[in-house]
Structure 1
Amino acid sequence: MEQLNFVNLIQAGITTIGILGAVLLWQSKGNEYRGVALLLLMTAIASCINIMEETGLTRDIYLISPVFIMLFGPASYLAIKLLIEKRLNRSQLLHLLPVLPVLMVTAYVEVVIAIGTVWRIVYASLTVLLLLNYKRLLDQQRSDSDEFSLTWLMWILAITATFNLLDLLRLNLQHAIPMQLNVFGQGLNNLIWLISAMLIIVKLQLQNKMPRTGQDASEKPVENTEENRVKSRAENATLNPVEQPESAQQSEGDYAAIFVELDRLVSNNAWYLTPRLTLNDVSELTGLQTRDISRAINVCAKKSFNEYINGYRVDYVCQALRQANKQSLTDIALDAGFSSKASFNKVFKHITGQTPSQYKSANEV
């Protein structure tokens, strides 16, 4: 039996953190977090198997560790998909199917590593695209989308993917590089995994309940009341979808009447001051269907719902600062409808090109 080295100690840490994180997320969060919990548990099992194989305990029985190179890609993709969509179809579990034949040929380590390298790149790309699409949908539906967009997770995935690619390159070339460099590379990659696992556990524990996205999450039937006069104007201006092609339905002129009335109501009633305002909220206030509101803003304002509402909020803050408002920046931001200081600072700088403090200093009398 070989002695443990510093890499095995890091792997022991990953095993401990993975099991702890899996238990915490499984017990304290909803069902949609259980995919991440299982992913953390799988990481712990992989690290434990690595320790046993590298110390000689199981190496002569059967080599299992190479299969995890194939498994982590689809497992990560499915875990994130469950987290943001809150459900998985049984057919989607077929993503894991190609792993089974690989389990039978792990003795051909170089071949498994080469295939696994391509497999990981493909699924890392699919996972990032999944998260980007989720953020886009949130921007169309919520004014507080930054709090749920999982941008931090995209950064973690990007960083770990970069180190994983370097480590996979190391694995493919391990017979051609010095032993010390090989061990250092393995240790560095395991350390990145350890830190990433801890960050994911902490961030998800602090994360508010993930909102649903898509038409099924936002579309609601609208009653025929006097408040629905906006809808009547829209129906007169909008082409019949059965009689007209899609391109005609989406022209700016078709949605101009909707947007003009919508913008007037949002501005006059200061609905943008409502914290965590959603597309659904505006739909209930105006009587318009959510798809019409979203499309009108996209086509006429050239913005997402999130950008449109937060643009009004930034204008409110700027006006308050120009009037030498004695409130703190945080209080003004909260009055404007922002739900967090971090989100306010990010949106304000994106729109004005200055931080709130810089803008305040520049406009002080």
Structure 2
Amino acid sequence: MTVELINLLQWLLASACLTAGLILSARRRLRALAALLILFSVHMLFNALEETRLLPGAILVTPAFGLVYGPLFYIFVRRLIFAGGHGWRRVYPHFIPALIALPLAQWFDFIHLAALASLITYGALTVRLIGRYHAETASTRSDAASIRLNWITQVFAGFAALTVIDAVRMFTRSLQSPLAETLSYAGVLTAGGVLMGALVWRAITQPDYFKGLAGNEPACPAETTPDPADAPLFLTIDEKIRADALHRQPHLTLSDVASVANLTERDVSRAINAGAGRSFCDYINAFRVSDVCAMLNARPDATILDIAFEAGFTSKSSFNAVFKKESGVTPSEYRRRNTRNH
């Protein structure tokens, strides 16, 4: 048995991911992420065992692990988005290719390509799911900007790029010096650990107030061709929001407005799309930006962030992005211009 520094790195990553996975397993919506971390931990463990010859040479299981990452990542995203996702019995079929690959591990190159194809397939499904989630939240929540999931797409893209790099490394090992091969292998493992850490951090800091979309598939309120009858309905909704300053509620939803106006969510959504020509989220945020501008003019001593939170925004980053989108300038620039004008 020969233990090298690369094997110590594998043991370190395995221990860290196993610990994080066990901790996260207590949170229902993050159990798929916990399973992903534990899978990565076991993968590192078997890598170390195979490379140090602690397992018989005839036993080779690590190639099949690549066929599990895509499905688990997709399931994690589903459980993060939906309040009530499928039970584990419904997701078992996603792991059948990995089980089939176990006895075929000697065809390592073929399985590695299959794993890359699996990542691409599940990556496309994940991007599609996140796109539908963004459309749903923009249509039903005023805080949609603060609960966007672009970070998931970015992390998945990082894993996909790492998979391609690792595939190139595997297929060109014979052309590399032992030192270069070891360094590239260590770089891939370290990058994988960093991406896992980023995934865990962003998942646990996802806003707790967002409990997930209802149902298993997002269903935005059906949009129809604007009807002239929607105009007076929109004016009624608009007047109610202004009179009660509903837009200042940080997590205002379409359901909240429908309840106050004694209308259905579908009616409110259709009226806003017809009357304002924009999504519910953009419509409410336009009110907030207008309030912020008025308060910046009237209260020069108040901080911009305090004013933003008072107007109903929930985070600094989403406020800055929305304000610039609506006004064309940053909040600080708006205040400076207003000061110069006065």
Aligned-residue offset at 1:39: 1.0
- The change in CA–CA distance for 1:299 and 1:11 in structure 2 (over 3 A counts) is farther
Matched, 1:43 2:43: no
Aligned-residue offset at 1:178: 4.6
Aligned to 1:284: 259
Letter in 2 for 1:345: N
Aligned to 1:106: 105
Tell me, what secondary structure is at the counterpart of 1:339? coil
- Matching residue within 339, 343, 358 for 2:314: 339
For 2:196 and 2:172, the matched residues in 1 are separated by 27
Aligned-residue offset at 1:187: 1.9
- The change in CA–CA distance for 1:92 and 1:263 in structure 2 (over 3 A counts) is same
- The change in CA–CA distance for 1:156 and 1:111 in structure 2 (over 3 A counts) is same
Given that residues 218 and 279 in structure 1 are in contact (C-alpha distance below 8 angstroms), is that contact kept between their aligned partners in structure 2?
no
Aligned-residue offset at 1:15: 0.9
Aligned to 1:187: 186
Give matches, 1:53-202, under 5 Å: 53-58=50-55, 60-85=57-82, 86-89=84-87, 90-202=89-201
Given that residues 63 and 111 in structure 2 are in contact (C-alpha distance below 8 angstroms), is that contact kept between their aligned partners in structure 1?
yes
- Matching residue within 317, 339, 343 for 2:292: 317
Tell me, what secondary structure is at the counterpart of 1:104? helix
Given that residues 148 and 211 in structure 1 are in contact (C-alpha distance below 8 angstroms), is that contact kept between their aligned partners in structure 2?
no
- The change in CA–CA distance for 1:120 and 1:143 in structure 2 (over 3 A counts) is same
- The change in CA–CA distance for 1:144 and 1:173 in structure 2 (over 3 A counts) is same
Deviations 1:87-110 (A, max 9, x none): 214333311122211111011111
Moved more, 169-178 or 61-70: 169-178
Given that residues 21 and 34 in structure 2 are in contact (C-alpha distance below 8 angstroms), is that contact kept between their aligned partners in structure 1?
yes
- The change in CA–CA distance for 1:217 and 1:184 in structure 2 (over 3 A counts) is closer
Aligned-residue offset at 1:218: 11
For 1:68 and 1:295, the matched residues in 2 are separated by 47
Given that residues 143 and 314 in structure 2 are in contact (C-alpha distance below 8 angstroms), is that contact kept between their aligned partners in structure 1?
yes
Matched, 1:211 2:211: yes
Given that residues 254 and 269 in structure 2 are in contact (C-alpha distance below 8 angstroms), is that contact kept between their aligned partners in structure 1?
yes
5+ residue gaps, structure 2, are none
Give matches, 1:6-21, under 5 Å: 7-21=6-20
Deviations 1:9-67 (A, max 9, x none): 3322321221121122122x3x1211111111111111111111122222504111100
Given that residues 17 and 197 in structure 1 are in contact (C-alpha distance below 8 angstroms), is that contact kept between their aligned partners in structure 2?
no
For 2:112 and 2:64, the matched residues in 1 are separated by 9
Tell me, what secondary structure is at the counterpart of 1:57? coil
Moved more, 249-258 or 124-133: 249-258
For 2:7 and 2:146, the matched residues in 1 are separated by 37
Aligned to 1:303: 278
Given that residues 143 and 251 in structure 2 are in contact (C-alpha distance below 8 angstroms), is that contact kept between their aligned partners in structure 1?
yes
Given that residues 14 and 193 in structure 1 are in contact (C-alpha distance below 8 angstroms), is that contact kept between their aligned partners in structure 2?
no
Aligned-residue offset at 1:251: 3.2
Count matched residues.
335
Letter in 1 for 2:74: Y
- Matching residue within 226, 229, 241 for 1:251: 226
Aligned-residue CA RMSD (Å) = 2.5
- The change in CA–CA distance for 1:189 and 1:352 in structure 2 (over 3 A counts) is farther
- The change in CA–CA distance for 1:91 and 1:205 in structure 2 (over 3 A counts) is closer
Aligned-residue offset at 1:358: 1.5
Tell me, what secondary structure is at the counterpart of 2:53? coil
Moved more, 84-93 or 33-42: 84-93
Q: TM-score, normalised by structure 2?
A: 0.89
Moved more, 167-176 or 31-40: 167-176
Letter in 2 for 1:111: F
Sequence identity percentage: 28
For 1:25 and 1:310, the matched residues in 2 are separated by 34
5+ residue gaps, structure 1, are 220-245
Aligned-residue offset at 1:252: 4.4
Moved more, 329-338 or 190-199: 190-199
For 1:99 and 1:111, the matched residues in 2 are separated by 13
Tell me, what secondary structure is at the counterpart of 1:66? helix
Aligned-residue offset at 1:262: 1.5
